[in-house]
Amino acid sequence: MAYYYSELSHTFSEYLLVPGYSDANCVPANVSLQTPLVRFRRGDKAALSLNVPLVSAIMQSVSDDRMAIALAKEGGVSFIYGSQTIEDEAAMVRRVKNYKAGFVTSDSNLRPDQTLADVIALKEQLGHSTIAVTDDGTSSGKLLGIVTGRDYRVSRMAMTDRVDSFMTPLEKLITAPAGTSLKAANDIIWEHKLNSLPILDDDGRLLYFVFRKDYEQHKENPLELLDGSKRYVVGAGINTRDYEERVPALVDAGADVLCIDSSEGFTEWQARTLAFIREKYGDSVKVGAGNVVDRDGFLFLARAGADFVKVGIGGGSICITRETKGIGRGQATAVIEVAAARDEYYRETGIYVPICSDGGIVYDYHITLALAMGADFCMLGRYFSRFDESPTNKVMIKGSYMKEYWGEGSARARNWQRYDMGGAAKLSFVEGVDCYVPYAGSLHDNLMSTLAKIRSTMCNCGALTIPELQEKARLTLVSATSIVEGGAHDVLVKDQSTQ
């Protein structure tokens, strides 16, 4: 007969952390959020570690090269989505690895014959106030001018006005030649009181922008995650179908870590993919696997050679796997069991295989709960999809700005490789939805707030590191009434907009 679990399956919202003793040294400024990304042996250090315990999901609507650069600046890693051609994914990886800190490839570009309406539309889509005007409207065309908010007034101009009639032309711009160092570029910016400095090649083609704001932001990013060559660390998603072609292309492009993107990881298909990578590259290529929700699934992937294991099925905000198939497990219960299996495997083999909690994060404090329950880091989709740096459009819905967001199992993504179980090359039914999430602004500002909450909560538990949190954390299940009590209740909350 079928096996029945005696314990209920719980979510993060059903738990709270109980405060522990905090000494005078236990202040947020002293908290380290560094955590291993890949497996390591007892006594050694992980070949790759995160400076913050967050990675972005392997999704079309979340992780492209722009997100990867932005998150690496903050100390995390993006896994660029694999539901695209091998060539396109490898090109995204290359753009991250070739990115020079402070030198920004322009992604807001127009032709001179386009109109003010195009300027407004592009600004609303990407949120950038500096737009390059090039002969062909690409980021590498010949620079003809720049449009900023100071070049036009919507109330006094027609939407049909051509860009070349109001842009600041090249002859009035201060530029710098290829090979200019970042220090020299910043000196030019400060000397001439510029907001941006275009870097041009010998033919006048646009290479990069250097922005005044990036100098200040660089000083604010002491945790940026770099490889041995001072390039940003980037991950990439693969599947269990075309891995023999995709993996070599991504490795050649410079990907630091790969991850098998699949709705279910306890399969022969993942074992075959891991075996191929180990036979071809040994341990030099780092690759995560998943997803699993129990001890058996973790041990299977750890023994197959996974460098980390993702935990979670059906808990994502856009995932309807549980509705569609009746498969999954409460995220908190899954993390707790898999963390115990990881510790068991470490005791027996001396090999530590980090686990990633993937899905089920609704509030910032859920991240801290996941870490306390044993996760080494968390993978987030909805969280990152809300920011300027995600690849989706910003749109106005009922008077509020929103960002588009869709699941890899949705009809829009058509990522059949992620959900295929060895059958036909198509998406037989959807396991994800197409939706909107509230626009939240820049990644940096929001992430700083989230990390501040995590550090503060860790101090409440008397912990200065993630391993110490996992050792000292005390968790309690809460009743439905306790959850109500945890929010504002029995009061009339003032309307903040009137204060």
User: Residue 27: in which H helix or E strand, if any?
Assistant: none
Strand-pair category, 235-238 with 206-211: unpaired
Distance CA 469, CA 457 (A): 10
CA dihedral (354, 357, 358, 361) in degrees, to 10, reads -150
CA distances from 67 to 128, 220, 387, 450 (A): 15, 18, 9, 17
Q: Where are the alpha helices (DSSP H) in 220-311?
A: 243-253, 268-281, 295-304
Considering only CA atoms, which of 257, 437, 442, 440 is closest in space to residue 354?
257
- With contact defined as beta carbons under 8 Å apart, do 290 and 263 qualify? no
Distance CA 18, CA 439 (A): 33
Counted residue by residue, the chain has a size of 499
Question: What sign does the dihedral 241-245-248-249 (CA atoms) show?
Answer: negative
- How many Cα atoms sit within 13 Å of 468 on the Cβ side? 18
User: Residue 126: in which H helix or E strand, if any?
Assistant: helix 116-126
Concatenated DSSP letters for 389-452? TSSSPEEEETTEEEEEEE-TTSTTT--HHHH-SSS-SS--S--B-EEEEE--B-HHHHHHHHHH
- Amino acid present at 276: F
Beta bridge partners of 401: 396
Structure tokens at 222: 């002491």
Residue 322 phi/psi, 5-degree rounding, is: -65, -40
Distance CA 476, CA 478 (A): 6
Active site positions, annotated: 319, 418
Q: If you search the block for the tokens 């820049």, which residue do you land on?
A: 442
Extended strands (E) in 33-185: 35-36, 40-41, 49-50, 54-56, 77-80, 109-110, 131-134, 143-147, 168-169, 176-177
- How many Cα atoms sit within 13 Å of 70 on the Cβ side? 23
Considering only CA atoms, which of 366, 397, 393 is closest in space to residue 379?
366
The CA-based angle 62-63-68, given to 5 degrees, is 135
